[in-house]
């Protein structure tokens, strides 16, 4: 049975298109150029910050965020950056009586921004708040503790087979891979995807899949 569903944030419930566009503007490069470099880095399996270092060799996220804030161009997101299917999916799962959480690699300001959205979730966890980032096993240990149940009763939903699905499986969780965002479309790991309980293209699909799974007794 699935008792708890946790979601990655960026690329899963949060559309990062505007955020990436703002970074391109900050670096002073065309948005399509930044997107092309970003896609190439994903295809090569590089760290997500590597494309930033192409345009800013000494890139440091914390320092750069401070510079943006000082310049009146802080990194931020709001309701308009949620995928259209995110809020309704979270609500539908809550209506099934499930424990619902967010758990993603996010910087310091993100947790407050997520809370301000007043999403129908029981817990919000971030790499900054927990002091550990995916794909480290300790991150998923935090997820298990936050759920209050067994790892096998948790479904972790994410767009990345490397950072989301594979380590969640290793922690004993069930997994769902959603195909959207740059990683969801570029990073192809068939052997990992094949082990997922669900593979979806929209969060609209998820509540019914979970309900059917639980009705069948897991």
Q: What is the pLDDT of residue 163?
A: 93
In angstroms, the CA 146 to CA 131 distance is 15
Q: What is the pLDDT of residues 12-61, one digit of tens each?
A: 999 999 999 999 999 999 999 999 999 999 888 888 889 999 999 999 98
Mean pLDDT of 122-151: 96
For the chain, give the percent of residues with pLDDT over 70. Answer: 100
Closest CA to 128 of 147, 105, 145: 105
Domains of the chain and any CATH numbers? 4-15+78-215 (3.40.50.1000), 17-70 (no CATH)
Q: What is the pLDDT of residues 141-159, one digit of tens each?
A: 999 999 999 999 999 999 9
Mean pLDDT of 193-215: 97
For residue 146, what are its two tokens?
A: 């936050």
Q: What is the pLDDT of residues 163-179, one digit of tens each?
A: 999 999 999 999 999 99
- How far, in Å, are 61, 84, 105, 130, 156 from residue 140 at the CA level? 23, 27, 11, 10, 10
Rg (CA), the chain: 17
Q: Which residues contact 38 (CB under 8 A, 6 or more apart)?
A: 20, 51, 182
More confident residue, 122 or 61: 122
Which pTM was predicted? 0.93
* Residue 218 pLDDT > 80: no
For residue 201, what are its two tokens?
A: 């293209």
């Amino acid at each position: 049975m699935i008792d708890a569903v946790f979601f990655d944030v960026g690329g899963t419930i949060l559309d990062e298109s505007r955020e990436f566009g703002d970074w391109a503007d900050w670096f002073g490069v065309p948005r399509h150029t930044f997107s092309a470099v970003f896609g190439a880095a994903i295809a090569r399996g590089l760290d997500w910050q590597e494309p930033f270092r192409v345009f800013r060799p000494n890139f440091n996220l914390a320092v750069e965020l401070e510079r943006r804030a000082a310049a009146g161009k802080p990194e931020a997101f709001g309701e308009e950056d949620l995928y259209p299917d995110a809020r309704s999916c979270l609500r539908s799962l809550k209506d099934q009586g499930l424990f619902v959480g967010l758990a993603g690699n996010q910087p310091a300001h993100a947790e407050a921004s997520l809370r301000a959205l007043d999403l129908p979730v029981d817990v919000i966890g971030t790499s900054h708040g927990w002091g550990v980032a995916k794909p480290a096993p300790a991150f998923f240990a935090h997820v298990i503790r936050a759920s209050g149940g067994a790892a096998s009763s948790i479904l972790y939903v994410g767009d990345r087979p490397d950072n989301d699905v594979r380590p969640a499986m290793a922690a004993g969780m069930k997994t769902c891979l959603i195909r959207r965002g740059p990683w969801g479309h570029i990073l192809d790991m068939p052997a990992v995807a094949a082990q997922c309980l669900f593979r979806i293209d929209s969060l609209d699909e998820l509540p019914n899949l979970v309900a059917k799974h639980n009705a069948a007794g897991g």
